[in-house]
A and B are shown apart, each in its own frame.
Chain A
Amino acid sequence: MSEEVETPVEETNEECNNGKQSKEKTVSYPLKVIYCPECSLPLEFCEFMPETVQVKCREWRENNLDILEQEGLEISSLTLDEPSGDKKRQKRGGRGNLKAKQKKEPEVIKIAKIPRGKRKFMTRVQGLATFDVNMKKASKLFAQKFSCGSTVSAPDEILIQGDVTDDLIDIILETWNEIDENHIQDLGEVKR
């Protein structure tokens, strides 16, 4: 059974108003599937997320209509609001209900100076992971910038050898745009 024949038939059946799109899609592989940045699923599956997440998905769609249009997607075919479906949805717990993911901790980056002996220090950074920063890469970056040792010592903690607090704040702000000065908290000298 040849695949070129099979796919377009199925896709056009499934969504008539997206006919053009699916024909273009079948021409070149890999296909580009757009994932919702809020729930990470393909856009058509947002509707199966728990209510709390769906609110965010909906919000993102409203704010990013232009992007969706650029990709040639018709938002109308991916609506979230379904009056009839809502009634059927199980409201109380049960197996079919997905749970919302746990909320992230408050997003504060804590920088502390830890003494080692009398005049040497380590710098400890906590909270970078709440910003979805790749810890290993961040640690590597710090080690390179400060030419010193740096390690991921706990799931959300980086230890840097030497007192680099001031430079560190600059570098964090520079490399990750989503991090603001207000997010960073300098704890000063802390006993370990």
Chain B
Amino acid sequence: MFRKFDENENVSSTNQIKSSVQRQIRATILQQMPKIEPYLQDIWPKKESARVMKCHEHIEILTVGEECLFFKQRDSPWYPTLKLLHKYPFILPKQKVDRGAIKFVLSGANIMCPGLTSPGADLNMDTIDDSAVAVHAEGKVNALAIGHMKMSPQKISEVNKGIGIDTVHYLNDGLWHLKIVK
């Protein structure tokens, strides 16, 4: 999604959002990531007004102050950015890929089923199909990508072929390098 992403080219407008819309977004985020609740106040203080960057391909990025916090595309759920996820790693369910997959993920590849089922990896059976997950790696503490489950974990271990998780946002992509200018 952010493989080629450049602030000058892909951002079409930045707007402050209405407080009613803010409330809505807050509610949806809480609904999608219930674990964030005790910390949402710190991440996004009520008084702080948020902005939405509208980008090409129907991507919207929610920013508070100088930080990008969440983003979404069309009707997708809100995903946290990796910088936020590193600070609060528990907000998304985790999936772990094996070591061999890391370099491919870092260059933007989707996560294939064998990378999740091999001995080094750890397939989290509690994740739900069609939801956001944090992609961690064998031997690493921090998440390296944020993905969207394409198959249910049961199906992944059964089929063991093809794309298991769609990589939405990964380390070193366009969103990672996005800097906000007020």
Q: Knowing A96-B104, A97-B107, A98-B103 touch, does A44 contact B87 (C-beta < 8 A)?
A: no
Contact B39 A29 (CB under 8 A): yes
Contact B109 A95 (CB under 8 A): yes
Contact A7 B90 (CB under 8 A): yes
Residue in A3, A14, A95, A97 whose CB lies within 8 Å of B90:
A3
Q: How far is the CA of A64 from the CA of B112 in the complex (A)?
A: 38
How distant is A123 from chain B, measured CB to nearest CB, in Å? 22
Q: How far is the CA of A97 from the CA of B109 in the complex (A)?
A: 11
Contact B89 A7 (CB under 8 A): yes
For this complex, into which size category does the number of interface residues on chain A fall? 20 to 34
Q: Which of B15-23, B24-32, B170-178 contacts A (4 or more CB under 8 A)?
A: B170-178
Closest to A31 in B: B87
Q: Knowing A1-B126, A98-B103 touch, does A44 contact B140 (C-beta < 8 A)?
A: yes
Closest to B143 in A: A42
Chain A residues, CB < 8 A from B89: 7, 31
Contact B107 A95 (CB under 8 A): yes
Contact A30 B177 (CB under 8 A): no
Task: Render A1-23 as a binary contact track against B, CB cut-off 8 A, 1 for contact.
Answer: 10100110011001100000010
Contact A45 B107 (CB under 8 A): no
Chain B residues, CB < 8 A from A29: 39, 42, 87-88
Q: How far is the CA of A6 from the CA of B89 in the complex (A)?
A: 11
Q: How far is the CA of A133 from the CA of B171 in the complex (A)?
A: 23
Chain A residues, CB < 8 A from B142: 33, 42, 44-45
B8 in contact (CB, < 8 A): yes
Closest to A22 in B: B141
Residue in A6, A14, A30 whose CB lies within 8 Å of B88:
A30
Contact B141 A15 (CB under 8 A): yes
**Apart from A31-B89, A44-B141, A96-B107, what are 17 other A-B pairs with CB-CB below 8 Å?**
A7-B90, A10-B94, A11-B141, A15-B139, A15-B141, A29-B87, A30-B42, A30-B88, A42-B141, A45-B102, A45-B140, A45-B144, A48-B102, A95-B109, A97-B107, A98-B103, A98-B172
List 28 A-B pairs, Cβ < 8 Å: A7-B89, A7-B90, A15-B139, A15-B141, A22-B141, A29-B39, A29-B87, A30-B42, A30-B87, A30-B88, A31-B86, A33-B142, A39-B172, A40-B177, A41-B171, A41-B172, A42-B86, A42-B142, A44-B140, A45-B142, A45-B171, A48-B102, A48-B103, A48-B106, A95-B107, A96-B103, A98-B103, A155-B8
